[in-house]
Structure 1
Amino acid sequence: MRIALHTMVRADRSDEYQGARQEVPEELIAAIRTAGVSEWTIWRSGTDLFHLLEVEDYPAMIAAWENLPANIAWRAPMAELLEVVHGYSAQGATASSLPVVWQL
């Protein structure tokens, strides 16, 4: 599955966000891969963050992450840095992702 998401960093916290993304814990990276994610890219334009994930099964990934200590530890500081925090719901493949409007 290819999932596109949109979040927004707080304007006054963008430098902190950039720094935090340079230090993603290895335990979290391993959990991301174990949950079936083969690629996750985030682009930033001002305060807008655009995510593109290649994942085997997005709802299964969310379920696997729900109570994962590494993910819980990561979400707390991220929530302070983000203006718009994606809920990463299990319905994300339909309800929370950006819809495709055109593809070549």
Structure 2
Amino acid sequence: MVVTLHSVVREGLELDYDREHRVIPDDLVEDFARFGITGWEIWRVGRHLFHRVECEDWDRANEALAGSAANRRWQQHINQVVDHFDPVDERGVPQPLDRVWSLSEQRDG
């Protein structure tokens, strides 16, 4: 499955965010693989970040990441430059954006 997410960088820290994502911790990359996350790309426009995540099951991956020491360390670190995700559920877990339209689906029917 593919999900898209939206987050926002703290004002003035856009280049810090870019620098921090040149390479993420290897133990987090290993956890992603163990939890079924096979791809993650991020685009930035100003302060707005758009994430494209390829995973087996987004909800299951998030549950597993909640118990990951590598993810907790990374979140503590990166939240110095990330302001927030939007939208989130009642637990604060980032929620995928709704896809509105797909050219390939329209074309291929």
TM-score (norm 2): 0.83
Per-residue deviation at 1:23? Answer: 2.8
Letter in 2 for 1:73: R
- Conserved in 2, the CA contact under 8 Å of 1:79 and 1:85? no
Per-residue deviation at 1:82? Answer: 1.1
Q: Which residue of 2 aligns with 1:32?
A: 32
Q: Percent identity at matched positions?
A: 28
Per-residue deviation at 1:18? Answer: 1.1
Unpaired runs of 5+ in structure 1? none
Q: Which residue of 2 aligns with 1:9?
A: 9
Q: How does 1:76-91 map to 2 (within 5 A)?
A: 76-85=76-85, 87=88, 89=93
Letter in 2 for 1:101: V
Unpaired runs of 5+ in structure 2? 104-109
- Conserved in 2, the CA contact under 8 Å of 1:36 and 1:57? yes
Letter in 2 for 1:97: P
Per-residue deviation at 1:16? Answer: 1.4
CA distance in 1, matches of 2:44, 2:11: 12
- Conserved in 2, the CA contact under 8 Å of 1:5 and 1:97? yes
| 1:30-87 Cα shifts (integer Å, max 9, x gaps) | 1111111111110011111000111001111011111211000000121120122365
| Displaced runs of 4 or more, over 4 A | none
Q: Secondary structure at the residue paired with 1:40?
A: strand
Q: How many pairs does the alignment contain?
A: 99
TM-score (norm 1): 0.87
Over alpha carbons, which structure has the higher Rg?
2
Report the more deviating stretch, 79-88 or 61-70. Answer: 79-88
**Superposed CA RMSD:** 1.5
